[in-house]
């Protein structure tokens, strides 16, 4: 899946599933990423999400919404990109 290799900072996301039920339905833009978390800029302020516990719809630059499991995004962005590239060879 191409989105796993892309830079996500600046893209819009909506949380569709989470172990934290208060996070479901929150929508915003990715503003930061660590190995295990994302920070979304939302209408309610910045929200930190644990990747492993969430599932998202991510809006690509071409305006399509793509469902992505947080487990697929765990890891530093540069390592995630490298790991997906190796799998697709």
Tell me: the pLDDT tens digits for 38-73? 999 999 999 999 999 999 999 987 778 999 999 888
- What total number of domains does the chain contain? 1
The DSSP secondary structure of 44-87, one letter per residue, reads: TEEEEEEGGGEEEEEE-TTS-EEEEEGGGG-S-HHHHHHHHHHH
CATH at 59: 2.30.30.210
Q: For residue 42, give both structure tokens.
A: 């939302």
Whether the pLDDT of residue 6 is over 80: the answer is: no
Which residues, 6 or more positions from 79, have their beta carbon under 8 angstroms from its beta carbon?
A: none
**pTM over cut 0.95:** no
Tell me: the pLDDT tens digits for 8-24? 899 999 999 999 999 99
**Could you tell me which of 35, 42, 36 has the C-alpha nearest to residue 15?**
42
Q: What is the distance, to the nearest Å, from the Cα of residue 50 to the centroid of all Cα atoms in its chain?
A: 10
Tell me: the pLDDT tens digits for 20-32? 999 999 999 999 9
């Amino acid at each position: 899946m191409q989105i796993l290799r892309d830079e996500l900072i600046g893209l819009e996301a909506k949380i569709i599933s989470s172990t934290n039920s208060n996070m479901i339905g929150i929508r915003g833009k990715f503003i930061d990423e660590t190995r295990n978390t994302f920070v979304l800029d939302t209408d309610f302020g910045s929200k930190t999400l644990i990747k492993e516990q969430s599932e998202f719809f991510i809006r690509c630059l071409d305006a399509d919404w793509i469902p992505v499991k947080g487990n697929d995004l765990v890891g530093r962005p540069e390592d995630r990109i490298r790991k997906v590239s190796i799998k697709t060879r």
